[in-house]
Structure 1
Amino acid sequence: MNRCAALGLIIVILGLLTSCTQRQGLNSLLDNYHYRLSNVFEFEPSNNLLDIDENSLPSYPSRRELQQPLSPVSVNLLEFLRLSRCDLQRLIGERNSSLGKFMPDSQMLVYHLRFIALAKTCRDTLVSVDNHSLAQAVADARQTKINDLPKVRWNASFASQEFQQLFSHAAPPLTLTETASDSAALTQALRYLQQFLLIEAEDTLPSFTKLESHYAVVASDKFIGRLLRSQLVLVNVLSVLSDQIELANKERPLCPAGSLTPRGKVMQQVFLRFYIGEIQPYISGIYRQSRDVKQVIEDYLLLWPEYESQVFSAYWQQAWSDTQPTSIWQQYNRAVSRHTQVWQQQLQACGLRPGNNQINGK
């Protein structure tokens, strides 16, 4: 094995080890919380608490399902050759080349915007030399491209390969370290791309040199899919633990007389150290990053609602809807709210109300 191959193998192994360690870190965090609660409330720990039903994770639609068909623009070969005085001729030639036929959706957006801009200049040039028939053909082709712009924008975003990666849940949930940071890089990249999606036919074209680097950020981490997986893990864990705490309290309350007991003091420490110190930061991180990224995506959807396909709408309703009670996002918010209420009720039952010094160990 040569040095380059050996180095590549080492990098792959280190990547796998890092991924495994991150998953184990999150599992350890939640397992430990589960274990501490089972000791305090004296219930039998649940098996496979962290396992989720993969079928309950909504899958992002395929590119084939999402892509909008574009209108063909036919330019007669003789007319095409007569366009040689225009830069449009070179652009069309690039599009019809072997590489041009396999343009990614991002470059198809660039091509359409450049075509519209160059066609306007070309039409004016042809009019100036009294070639009105060809000028009209170019104007018609330009209008076709303008009419297709909303479809091209949709294809360059929700139907693109990069968005397929962004929404893919074929990756582990976020770690505590990742939720402690923010999603600024992703939201910045999405906002940058949004500027290009808002370019109109008569706008001056910006530089496209940084476009692909921002697409690379969008596709880099399956971030939205990982957020959704993280939410579902928390739905499962928090729902089960809330059930177990409530059931245990009915059978054997920690503080039957409404005042702090020795078992209640242990509960207090578990609440402060493990719930407030570890679990709540993870819950808050998932919520904050989900909220921020979700807002950007919803802003995208406002740009061209007429091209929001039925399959995308079905996915969004199942995954991120604010109005569909069964969406993962709604389930997550309910599970968090319920678990918070369970803790509040438990603290009150032991005389540890908000503002009570005992809740802070004083």
Structure 2
Amino acid sequence: MLQGCDHSPASLYLDYQKRLANVSNGTFTPPSALTPLPLATKSKPEPQVTIGLLELSAINHCPLSTLIAEHNSQLGKVAAPSELFKYQLRFILQAPNCIASLQGKQQPLADKLEQALEAKKQHLLDYFNYMLYQEVEFRALFSLANQGFSRELAGKEAAIEALAFFNRVKSKIIADSIDNDDVNELTSQLAKLHRNTYVKTLLTEAQRQREFNLVTTATLATLPIESRLCVKQRPSDTAQFMHNVFQKFYIGQLQPLQADISGELQALLPLLYELYVQDAALSNQLNVESKLSLLTQLKMSAKSHVEWWQSFYQRCAIKPY
């Protein structure tokens, strides 16, 4: 009884397959287990310049001193990737004033802080990427979802806002124009991704619908059309029943659903692509212009499925509408 109340996309497709199997005597099976999109792991970047305790005591007059001390504490050593990235940002923003206060008085220390500042600027994108690959909220984007996609799925606006923010931060890193607002907003934007299932649900459903299309079309291609279903282009009762199933379940329900998923992907994937463009294995599946993208593959699987039915109608001399 509970299964009968399930209106998830997977349940709809299984019903479509079941109806086709009942009328055609074909063996339609669901796709094999899905695999998440290939998000690699990153090692934590190593600091290029270290500030010793004596040097730290010499800059007690600078807010930078407190920042470095907190970072060197036990809590700092186990900080999350996003907190490590925020430390680099704060160091870059606070260091210039501290360096200026040391000029001509403690020049060696001023030079060392300048070295540290330049090193952090040079490797800031590495720390940003470390966050993208290792922060729990970002890794969760590419995990497989248990729930199915629906038009009322919550979390879309928050996820889009957060991803757009991190894209702006990345652009500012490249342009060397990071400011305090970016640091202050980072935690709240990351929180929008915490337990937000929108992205992973959409990506999972797109993969699932693509695989359903592929395996169903492959089974349809094995059916004996000319020898049994439509002898001499005369449709049998079975062929007419198949036509009814296709129109009611695929055209009436699944095709609009897959069109909605494609539309959502069209808006989401460019944001993910800009963040992960440096990762060839992943970015190909996120780039909407690529033949390997999840969006293109979903559309191609749907096109192939419809093309089989168009061929079926021609060979059986059935008018589809």
Q: What range describes the TM-score normalised by the shorter chain of this pair?
A: 0.7 to 0.9
1:275-286 matched pairs, under 5 angstroms: 275-286=250-261
1:333-352 matched pairs, under 5 angstroms: 333-348=299-314, 349-352=316-319
Rounded Cα–Cα distance in structure 1 between residues aligned with 2:181 and 2:5:
41
Cα deviation, residue 77, structure 1: 1.8
1:139-288 matched pairs, under 5 angstroms: 139-169=114-144, 171-172=145-146, 174-177=148-151, 183-200=156-173, 201=176, 203-206=178-181, 208-221=183-196, 223-246=198-221, 247-254=223-230, 256-257=232-233, 266-288=241-263
**Counterpart AA for 2:172:** I
**Counterpart AA for 1:196:** V
Rounded Cα–Cα distance in structure 2 between residues aligned with 1:110 and 1:177:
36
Equivalence for 1:35? 18
Rounded Cα–Cα distance in structure 2 between residues aligned with 1:173 and 1:285:
17
Rounded Cα–Cα distance in structure 2 between residues aligned with 1:266 and 1:29:
18
Assess, with a 3 A threshold, how the Cα gap between structure 1 residues 266 and 207 changes in structure 2: closer, same or farther: same
Provide Cα deviations, 1:232-264, integer angstroms capped at 9, x if missing partner: 433442223223334242333358547x87666
1:31-180 matched pairs, under 5 angstroms: 31-40=14-23, 42-46=24-28, 49-54=29-34, 57=36, 59-61=38-40, 65-127=41-103, 130-169=105-144, 171-172=145-146, 174-177=148-151
Equivalence for 1:10? none
Question: What is the DSSP-based 3-state SS (H/G/I as helix, E as strand, rest coil) of the residue aligned with 1:84?
Answer: coil
Conservation of the 8 A alpha-carbon contact between 1:190 and 1:296: yes
Conservation of the 8 A alpha-carbon contact between 1:23 and 1:172: no
Question: What is the DSSP-based 3-state SS (H/G/I as helix, E as strand, rest coil) of the residue aligned with 1:294?
Answer: helix
Provide Cα deviations, 1:257-296, integer angstroms capped at 9, x if missing partner: 47x8766654454333211221112222332233332211
Rounded Cα–Cα distance in structure 2 between residues aligned with 1:182 and 1:270:
34
1:275-354 matched pairs, under 5 angstroms: 275-302=250-277, 305=278, 308=279, 313-314=280-281, 320=286, 331-348=297-314, 349-352=316-319
Assess, with a 3 A threshold, how the Cα gap between structure 1 residues 57 and 89 changes in structure 2: closer, same or farther: closer
Rounded Cα–Cα distance in structure 2 between residues aligned with 1:149 and 1:22:
51
Question: What is the DSSP-based 3-state SS (H/G/I as helix, E as strand, rest coil) of the residue aligned with 2:272?
Answer: helix
Assess, with a 3 A threshold, how the Cα gap between structure 1 residues 136 and 57 changes in structure 2: closer, same or farther: closer
Rounded Cα–Cα distance in structure 1 between residues aligned with 2:9 and 2:186:
34
Rounded Cα–Cα distance in structure 2 between residues aligned with 1:278 and 1:59:
30
Cα deviation, residue 73, structure 1: 2.7
Conservation of the 8 A alpha-carbon contact between 1:60 and 1:164: yes
Over aligned residues, Cα RMSD in angstroms?
Answer: 3.5
Rounded Cα–Cα distance in structure 1 between residues aligned with 2:241 and 2:42:
54
Cα deviation, residue 80, structure 1: 0.9
Assess, with a 3 A threshold, how the Cα gap between structure 1 residues 103 and 68 changes in structure 2: closer, same or farther: closer
- Aligned identity (percent) is 22
Rounded Cα–Cα distance in structure 2 between residues aligned with 1:202 and 1:51:
47
Assess, with a 3 A threshold, how the Cα gap between structure 1 residues 43 and 27 changes in structure 2: closer, same or farther: same
Q: How many residues align?
A: 316
Q: Which stretches in structure 2 are left out of the alignment for 5+ residues?
A: none
Assess, with a 3 A threshold, how the Cα gap between structure 1 residues 174 and 288 changes in structure 2: closer, same or farther: farther
Cα deviation, residue 167, structure 1: 0.9
TM-score, normalisation: structure 2: 0.81
Rounded Cα–Cα distance in structure 2 between residues aligned with 1:157 and 1:297:
10
Provide Cα deviations, 1:314-340, integer angstroms capped at 9, x if missing partner: 4556x5577987876665443222101
TM-score, normalisation: structure 1: 0.73
Conservation of the 8 A alpha-carbon contact between 1:235 and 1:332: yes
Equivalence for 1:3? none
Rounded Cα–Cα distance in structure 2 between residues aligned with 1:30 and 1:69:
46
Cα deviation, residue 92, structure 1: 0.8
